Amino acid sequence: MDSKNDEKLITSYFEQIKNYLYGFVKDRELAKDLAQDVFLKALGKVRKDASKNEVKSFLYTIARNHALNFLAQQKHTLDVEKQDLQTETTEKADELKDKVYKILENLPPNYKKVLELKDFENYSYKDISVNLGISEAALTSLLNRARKEFKKQFLMSVAPKWAVAVSQENKNQELLEKIHPFAPQENFWNYLNQKTIDYFSSIYDRWDDIKDEFLKKEVISNLLEALELQGNEKILDIGCGVGKFVCEFPIFDYFCGIDLNLGLLKKAGNQTKNVDFVCGEMERLPIRSNSFDLLFCNLALHHAKNPQETLKEFERVLVKGGKLIILDFVKHKNPDFWERMRNIWLGFSPEELIKELKKIGMGNFSSFVNEKNNNYPEIFWIVANKK
């Protein structure tokens, strides 16, 4: 919704929502402030084709929840403040304060002013509207835009650089909103891990059919034939799922599959005495260094939170002369495919990936880009040896 539509929405329903909230708090001025908060939550979330009854029902639901939350918060304010004092160190609090003020200084002047008056100095909506010379409806719309911009800048300031890169490349601020300011890296990892687990848990029984839509079976068979395997290799499969890839190898010394999804690994089971399936992250492999002759990363690298660190882990667990085989999507600009597949990255440039592999001591490269299949992004494979 634009600012004019925002103001129209506020003007149409403000009195009704304010009176409804008065029934909870029994204070006219407080009900007015809470009503402004309700519209801040609602702006941008009302469908353009929603009927008047749907809009009204939506606003009343937000108002009720907001009133109940406010009353509960008032009841427990002292306990919460005591808990915050115990858990947040002075150093962290000062660091957060510095970030907040730096962001404020870089906001547009009208955003900075309205945030200072409302969120820092706790002026009423009525006083702020008089101070700024605008209507209360226009104030609510302005405050909504200012808070959104502040939130975006704040999340960018506390996020790891790679997390910011993910969100910017995919235009997905939802990812950054999962970050906690005092533990950004670990919280973001946990969120992305769960995102991947949930997706593959829902489609694992259909994964082969989904994969066949964009990856021709002969691509894998041709790749394995080109490797000229001897049958005595120790093989590591990254992102193994339910373990079907092991069936591509008639003979091997040892096979280990790594996946983050424990549910899928339980379905894989131990198929023979020289096959294991282990729960772990590709960024932090639970594997000893110099352990495997072959490492396959088959349509998994685009799920890596930090591809550079992941490649270092791949190199670490390979023996000298061991082969790394990466098969993935060529970098594309297909957000619908990205959303459907729950990927983190929109594929990779094979040339850029080879540059990264050279930095960590890999060499003797060969690569191939497969033609598009069913209008899906192209798929490449790269083979490299550990020096």
Please name which of 345, 338, 288, 351 lies closest in space to residue 317, comparing C-alpha atoms: 288
Domain 203-386: which CATH number of 1.10.300.10, 3.30.43.10, 3.40.50.2300, 3.40.50.150: 3.40.50.150
DSSP run (H or E) holding 248: none
Q: What is the pLDDT of residue 354?
A: 94
> Where along the chain do its domains lie?
3-183, 203-386
Edge-to-edge order in the sheet of strand 379-386: 275-279, 254-259, 234-238, 292-298, 318-329, 379-386, 362-370
Q: What is the pLDDT of residue 221?
A: 82
Backbone angles phi, psi at 111, to 5 degrees: -65, -45
Beta-strand relationship, 318-329 and 362-370: unpaired
Q: At residue 383, what is the residue type?
A: V
Angle, nearest 10°, between helix axes 125-132 and 136-158?
Answer: 100
**What is each CA distance from 257 to 237, 242, 280, 287, in whole angstroms?**
5, 9, 10, 11
Q: What is the pLDDT of residue 365?
A: 94
Q: Length of the chain, please?
A: 387
Contacts of 376 (CB under 8 A, 6+ apart): 213, 214, 337
Q: What is the pLDDT along the chain (387 residues), one digit of tens a residue?
A: 456 677 777 788 888 888 888 888 888 888 888 888 888 888 777 877 788 888 888 898 898 888 888 887 776 544 444 444 344 445 556 666 777 888 888 899 999 999 888 888 888 888 888 989 998 888 888 888 888 888 778 777 766 565 566 566 555 555 555 555 444 455 555 666 666 667 666 666 666 566 666 677 777 888 888 888 899 999 999 988 888 888 888 889 999 999 888 877 887 765 566 888 888 889 889 999 999 999 999 888 988 878 888 999 999 999 999 999 999 988 877 666 655 666 677 789 999 999 999 999 999 999 888 777 667 788 899 999 999
